[in-house]
Amino acid sequence: MIYHTPALLKETIEGLKIRPDGVYVDVTFGGGGHSRAIIERLSAKGCLIALDQDADALKNAPDDKRLIKQQGNFRFLKHYLRHYGFRKVDGILADLGVSSHHFDEAGRGFSFRNADAPLDMRMNALAQLTAKDVVNSYKEDRLREIFAQYGELPDAARLARQIVVARQDAQIEQSGQLIESIGNCIPRGAENKYLAKVFQALRIETNRELENLKSLLVQCVELLHQGGRLVIIAYHSLEDRLTKNFFKNGMFEGVAEKDIYGNVDLPFRAVNNKVIVPTEEEIASNSRSRSAKLRIGERIS
């Protein structure tokens, strides 16, 4: 079984600008497709640190002396690198979002297509917070914020109210129960698109995805050698916007301040000013790559 087909593989490897004896990090190992391509380009002196918060993913890791495996969240990347004796590396890759394996395994609760699936959505099965906790314990105003910000749903207030009313009768524990509770909000003819946004919002909150991405981007300023590359593959506008702004302005919101000479001291140079997306051929062979957006930053100072 294919655990996960890597998106934008050729573009990712080219973007990393791999040196055979360099040290690289794949902070989202997943099915290992990107990692295997990196290892193929390393000499005996090269090294790849493969990180994933899902223990199942690392079971796919090849037995290779150049590979170091570590289960954990990439928000702690600096800590893991220090543990293995690395202060700086030559390249870092993050393929964000959810793997095909997560979507296809009903018990993980990432897909709305299985009504009996539990509302779990944890990328790390040992994490405490689940989507069920979010749905059943969050206050209405916080639910509204989550659906508005992370799902970009215009009817977030109505959606939150429907959930709060439904859970008064019984806990909402399965995907089908959640879908039934918000049935009046789901637009006819656009059911899948709407539910995808609802589940995306819950998943982002459950896994603290945007907070983790911000933490990673900030750490990479310190962890990359000058000239080192950071490659980010995002699957929705929220992640892509954070990455784009950080590469362009060195911050997540606003515009970088200029000195008295009009210069801006930025940590990264955007290698591709225009976002890289899959070709029609790749989308035809791997439909889940269709929303992938790739950005490359080079450490310049």
Identify the CATH number of the domain in which residue 198 sits.
Answer: 1.10.150.170
> Do 85 and 127 fall into the same domain?
no
What single string gives the DSSP state of each residue in 26-53? ES--TTSHHHHHHHHT--TT-EEEEEES
Cβ pair 252, 244 in contact under 8 A: no
Same domain for 19 and 60?
A: yes
Do 243 and 176 sit in the same domain of this protein?
no
In a domain, 2, yes or no: no
Which residues is 89 bridged to in the sheet?
Answer: 224
Alpha helices in 189-279 (DSSP H): 191-207, 209-223, 237-249
User: Is residue 288 very low, low, confident or very high in pLDDT (cuts 50, 70, 90)?
Assistant: confident
Distance CA 224, CA 204 (A): 27
Total domains in the fold of the chain: 2
The first and second tokens of residue 110, run together, are 């990432």
Can you read off the two tokens belonging to residue 128?
Answer: 């405490």
Mean pLDDT of 20-38: 97
Domain for residue 35, yes or no? yes
pLDDT per position as a tens digit, 51-83: 999 988 899 899 999 999 999 999 999 999 999
Domain ends where: 207, 232, 261?
207
**Distance, CA of 220 to chain centre:** 15
Query: In angstroms, what CA-CA distances link 188 with 12, 152, 197?
Result: 38, 18, 15
Looking at the fold, whether 201 and 230 belong to one and the same domain comes out as: no
List the domain range (segments joined by +) for residue 155: 109-207
How does pLDDT run across 90-111, given as a tens digit for each residue? Answer: 999 999 977 655 655 756 878 8
Residues 216, 228 within the same domain: yes
Q: Is residue 125 part of a domain?
A: yes
pLDDT at 109: 75
Same domain? For 181 and 213 the reply is: no
CATH number at residue 91: 3.40.50.150
